[in-house]
Amino acid sequence: TTTTYRTAQVTYGTITQSLGMAGNLQPVSQADLTFASAGTVQSVSVQVGQTVAAGDTLAALDPTLLSAQLLQAQAGLATAQAKLTQDRAGATAQTLTSAQNSVSAAQVNVNNAQTSLTDTKAINAQAVAVAQAAATSAQTVVDADQATTPPSPSLAADQAALTAANNALAAAKVKAQQSNDQASASLATAQQQLASAKSSLAALQTGTPASTLQMDQAQIQIAQVSVNTMQHSLDGATIKSPIAGVVSQVNIAAGQSVSGGSAGAASSSYAIVVYSPGSYYVTGTVSDAQVNLVAIGQTVAVTPAGSSQALQGKVTAISPAATISSGVATFGVTAELTDTSKSIKPGISATATIVTNQVVHVLTVPVSAVHTTATGSTVEVLVNGQPKSVVVTTGASDPTRIQIVSGLQLNETVVIAVISSSVPSSTTGSALGTGGTRGGGGADEHRHGAGAGAAHPSRVDLEALRVG
């Protein structure tokens, strides 16, 4: 029986452990743009696929109405500021003279109104007295007509004259009252104007009250808000690109009516979308059993669909809470990467491999060299041609190699498979083949691995094949 060993050397190596996920690549820098105000689109200066620089004008609304509203708001602000300036400056010789002249003029108006009221009352009283005398005289005539027997033939005519005289008296009284009331109202108005003029003069002489200055300042603040609002609306009537990039969407056209914040009355899409090629992110999911292995800053290899070359990135975000679907919990993981070729198209699908652990320049052996049981791990070291079981402490592992933390030294030879064969004796001759099937002679080789229960290398007898 011949026993041979398949061996490997203890070498320094790198062990990489990873998780996989999939998602779609989206640009890190993307501007979703809309008009800040409503109006009619006057011009659209770009089309899909066009390259733009930061600050380029992409589209504009008709600014006519907004410009007029801004000018009106600015005029209101200027007026409010001028009033505050004047009130703070206080009275000048010119304003004092003007105020004093106003008081004098108001006093003249009061005097005239008082004289007019007195004259009006006198004239009206005389008119009523005349009408009263006529009515009294007519009543005397009627009384005389009725005192005769038989009554005077002119009684009917005299009664008609009395009625007319009484009507004239009533009309004179109403007219007199109205005229008196009008003259009184004129006097009251003149007196009010005189009081106001005196108050203005007194205010100028004593200075502007603090309450007036506070009101002036409040008016300025209100006017400034109006100017800011209108300026924002006018600025928002022009869409400018905040970033350098490529136009990916244009959802408006010249002549179209838009409402502020959307591309159209019946649309919730953005007016124009611009993205910067070169930097992308991908968001995928990992299970709840894997999420604790992922950390911000870990390296990620991202392979876009249709590409054979992975791009390097970093984990930048991990969802703090799980998304549960049909009882299965997953966590979102976002990785960012740089595409120097700028060939990635937004939205393309991609696979991502997250490097959750990597140990560099550590002692490693093939996974099949380690035998692990409930009591620990061992490796068979070839010493003077014979295997010797050595207890080892293992660390990280990947599908092909495993880290040896202790128990082995660099360049030691470890057994990864044991091959035994029986050589036949024959007078007619025999042959030991190197194949693994009958007819040519040979052997089947069993490797031993790192699974639990693989305590010793397996031995496989090579059956001798007789020839002839």
Last residue within a domain, chosen from 319, 339, 357: 357
Q: Is there a single domain that holds both residue 320 and residue 344?
A: yes
pLDDT value, residue 263:
52
Q: What is the CATH number of the domain that holds 308?
A: 2.40.30.170
Q: Is there a single domain that holds both residue 95 and residue 203?
A: yes
In a domain, 229, yes or no: no
Q: What is the CATH number of the domain that holds 370?
A: 2.40.420.20
| pLDDT tens figures, 79-92 | 999 989 888 877 77
Q: Are 273 and 326 in contact (CB under 8 A)?
A: no
pLDDT value, residue 435:
34
pLDDT value, residue 465:
28
Q: Is there a single domain that holds both residue 270 and residue 281?
A: no
100, 386, 411 from 7: Cα distances, Å = 119, 12, 11
312, 318, 354, 378 from 315: Cα distances, Å = 10, 8, 8, 37
In a domain, 216, yes or no: no
Q: Is there a single domain that holds both residue 101 and residue 195?
A: yes
Q: Is there a single domain that holds both residue 159 and residue 263?
A: no
In a domain, 232, yes or no: no
| Token couple for 263 | 């591309």
How many structural domains is the chain composed of?
A: 4
Question: 75-93: buried (b, 16+ CB within 10 Å) or exposed (e) per residue?
Answer: ebbeebbebbeebeeebee
Q: Is there a single domain that holds both residue 323 and residue 296?
A: yes
pLDDT value, residue 94:
84
Q: What is the CATH number of the domain that holds 51?
A: 2.40.50.100
Q: Name the strand (E) or helix (H) holding 251.
A: none
In a domain, 459, yes or no: yes
Q: Is there a single domain that holds both residue 257 and residue 171?
A: no
Q: Is there a single domain that holds both residue 198 and residue 95?
A: yes
141, 218, 432, 457 from 387: Cα distances, Å = 165, 96, 25, 10
Q: Is there a single domain that holds both residue 319 and residue 409?
A: no
Please spell the DSSP secondary structure of 125-147, one letter per residue: HHHHHHHHHHHHHHHHHHHHHHH
pLDDT value, residue 190:
95
Domain containing 115 equals: 91-207
Cα gap 101→198, rounded to integer Å: 10
pLDDT value, residue 428:
39
pLDDT value, residue 266:
39
pLDDT value, residue 267:
43
Q: Is there a single domain that holds both residue 336 and residue 303?
A: yes
Q: Is there a single domain that holds both residue 258 and residue 285?
A: no
Q: Is there a single domain that holds both residue 195 and residue 113?
A: yes
Last residue within a domain, chosen from 338, 357, 376: 357
In a domain, 227, yes or no: no
Mean pLDDT by 10 residues, the chain (468 residues): 90 95 95 92 95 96 93 96 85 84 95 95 95 94 89 90 94 94 95 93 78 92 95 92 94 90 56 93 96 95 92 96 96 92 88 94 96 95 93 94 96 92 52 34 47 40 31
